[in-house]
Structure 1
């Protein structure tokens, strides 16, 4: 079977598996009927799984075969063609833009004479955000459809003759069904802010140790000391002129940090046309012009921080725009969580807590599978140990009377 050829194959329990080359192979109604993909989803809305976001990635040329992202999206259907579930899936010729690093696995297989690429990557491109990966049509039996999807992905991997399939940033609740199907479990760490019903930022600060409170107040003052003000822009306030400014920031940071930014200017215009109400731009202004900004996406109960950039360097401005303002917005809108992107232990001092992330991996090569399995057992122990250690070193008060002042 060629990648993304749209062909159909009989699976277990009478399921039919079809591989689609683009999200546009689904109707918008079909896609919005899947868990987590629209604001009507009972399980909550993840904007990165929306039809608007994913088609924007593909239509803009950001996630396409030319950039190493060949759509192989899996449709699980009845014999009569009714959509039961789906997996967002890409055939990859590299491991860029994923944030769950498997370069060592690729190197090991290549040195042993095998070929790691292409592989299948089941995730939202360029987006280190947990969300549903085994997508089930509302009203269908969730357990059986998820089990069917897990089996279907393995079958497609084997049929294509690729090395592996990787389901990354997976909800913890779905790890079990994938382990039962023979996938290997991997963990990693991120840092999230949890809104415990705070009335305002000062209310949040009151939960921190005194020394930490004073440090954050000073940091925020200094970030805005040079005549800098902050704007929150969403919906119709995000004009093409604003996108031009933000894209300049994004390109400056992306060019210095990664060498080749993943997203192009057309992508931001498409997102602005299709889902501007789901976007929050935090923009820093000085002397009448924007000098820095961060893009966030708004879910049903979470704010997701993504990309940032600047054209002027100011002390602590990055922390203000990316982390403190995100907390302010979440408290103001009653959102439960701020997810501020991958990695970054510096977030800990700013009120973000360590959170364990999950992924599942099907490795077709028996020798590599055994080696990876052994490695992941040790890695999971280390991630758990580090998470416990970091939780002990959060800035929150430890019921010490000296912290109350």
Structure 2
């Protein structure tokens, strides 16, 4: 049997059942999620995200795959390489196009090398690296890979970059009060005060999924989503069409939280969900209500995860303020192959220094943990 490397400019040309069999149940890696990005034109050549998915076939069977894009910028990635692009420009060189293996617009850690076994995943990686090395593009970047993938990427010669996110872990809590009981006194007090502010403002929440989400709900959510970007003076990456298509194609993966006051919707938060985790993604509000962001984006998500027996809640990229609200510091990685040896060496030196800084930062965050110290063993 021969294994053949093939690339696809449309994920719809790869059978969904074959892709999902490799991807597992991770909400962001599902065929329907990536397909919705493409058909809504959010991930397209026009937006600088040209799909070019790498796959490995054994005769007519898909044995490995990776979501791959040809990028002409670095927006929507949440791993920042703008300084690298600027250095190229200062030397009269092109950093773009570059190659990117990632879930577009989503800082969701997980597997990026999908395959029936490690051998197939490793073969796909090496064949793809060889193909890129023989073609164009300054580099290959793999964002937020799993620990196992990170080991394969490092063994293949890619440089590993380290970073931090904030995730909540379920320690078999019975309810939100049980979760609070594991925090230090001042953190418990702060969270209770923030939740009480929202409750006293007369706000209540409704979770919706699938066909519970109406067209009016989608309209309101996308309006709120766009308002959030407008406040930052930036342009939203995703269209209403994307959210509608995803909800229609993969309703089980969508959770929409709507906040109401006096019978009127005042805020929205959009989450993804799978069998293991809840992923906080987007939010927005039409009223400025004290602590509503913390309630909608963190406390409601934690409460939902406890109620539904999920193992973790991921609160998205960055945000040290999440630590005091029960989301623990979590190491994450990315992997980078740089074609130009001069820049590869300079970036390697930068990453070594950055890694030491991240290690120190993680130690500092551990010292500031919101959780009560465990009692000493008897």
Kindly provide the CA deviation profile for residues 215-259 of structure 1, in whole angstroms up to 9, marking residues without a partner as x: 111110002222111111112211111111111100100122251
1:68 is aligned, of 37, 45, 48, to: 48
Q: How far apart are residue 30 of structure 1 and its match? A: 1.6
The residue correspondences of 1:155-166 to structure 2 (distance < 5 A) are 155-166=130-141
Number of the residue aligned with 1:296: 271
2:33 is aligned, of 53, 56, 59, to: 53
Kindly provide the CA deviation profile for residues 22-79 of structure 1, in whole angstroms up to 9, marking residues without a partner as x: 211201122122132xxxxxxxx2111111111000001100110001011101123x
Number of the residue aligned with 1:255: 230
More displaced stretch, 106-115 vs 119-128 = 106-115
SS in 2 for 1:196: coil
Q: How far apart are residue 160 of structure 1 and its match? A: 2.6
Number of the residue aligned with 2:326: 351
Query: When the two structures are superposed, what TM-score results if normalisation uses the length of structure 1?
Result: 0.90
SS in 1 for 2:106: coil
Number of the residue aligned with 1:130: 109
Gaps of 5+ in 2: none
Number of the residue aligned with 2:82: 103
User: Could you tell me how far apart the structure 2 residues matched to 1:20 and 1:95 are?
Assistant: 22
SS in 2 for 1:224: helix
Is contact 1:72-1:89 (8 Å) kept? yes
The residue correspondences of 1:83-232 to structure 2 (distance < 5 A) are 83-137=62-116, 142-232=117-207
User: Could you tell me how far apart the structure 2 residues matched to 1:247 and 1:256 are?
Assistant: 14
Kindly provide the CA deviation profile for residues 122-175 of structure 1, in whole angstroms up to 9, marking residues without a partner as x: 0010000012100103xxxx2211221221221222233110000001001111
Q: How far apart are residue 14 of structure 1 and its match? A: 5.0
Q: How far apart are residue 81 of structure 1 and its match? A: 3.8
SS in 1 for 2:134: helix
Number of the residue aligned with 1:5: none
Number of the residue aligned with 1:6: none
Query: When the two structures are superposed, what TM-score results if normalisation uses the length of structure 2?
Result: 0.96
Gaps of 5+ in 1: 1-12, 37-44, 401-405
The residue correspondences of 1:306-325 to structure 2 (distance < 5 A) are 306-325=281-300
Matched, 1:21 2:18: no
Is contact 1:109-1:115 (8 Å) kept? yes
SS in 1 for 2:347: helix
Is contact 2:280-2:314 (8 Å) kept? yes
User: Could you tell me how far apart the structure 2 residues matched to 1:318 and 1:106 are?
Assistant: 34
Instruction: Please report the RMSD computed on the Cα atoms of aligned residues, expressed in angstroms.
Output: 1.5
More displaced stretch, 330-339 vs 379-388 = 379-388
Residues matched between the structures, number: 376
User: Could you tell me how far apart the structure 2 residues matched to 1:110 and 1:22 are?
Assistant: 31
Is contact 1:224-1:317 (8 Å) kept? no
SS in 1 for 2:22: coil
Is contact 1:153-1:165 (8 Å) kept? no
Is contact 1:353-1:394 (8 Å) kept? yes
More displaced stretch, 216-225 vs 118-127 = 216-225
Is contact 1:238-1:276 (8 Å) kept? no
Is contact 2:54-2:66 (8 Å) kept? yes
Is contact 2:23-2:29 (8 Å) kept? no
Q: How far apart are residue 399 of structure 1 and its match? A: 5.7
Number of the residue aligned with 1:35: 23
- Shift of the 123–399 alpha-carbon distance from structure 1 to 2, 3 Å rule, reads closer
Number of the residue aligned with 1:42: none
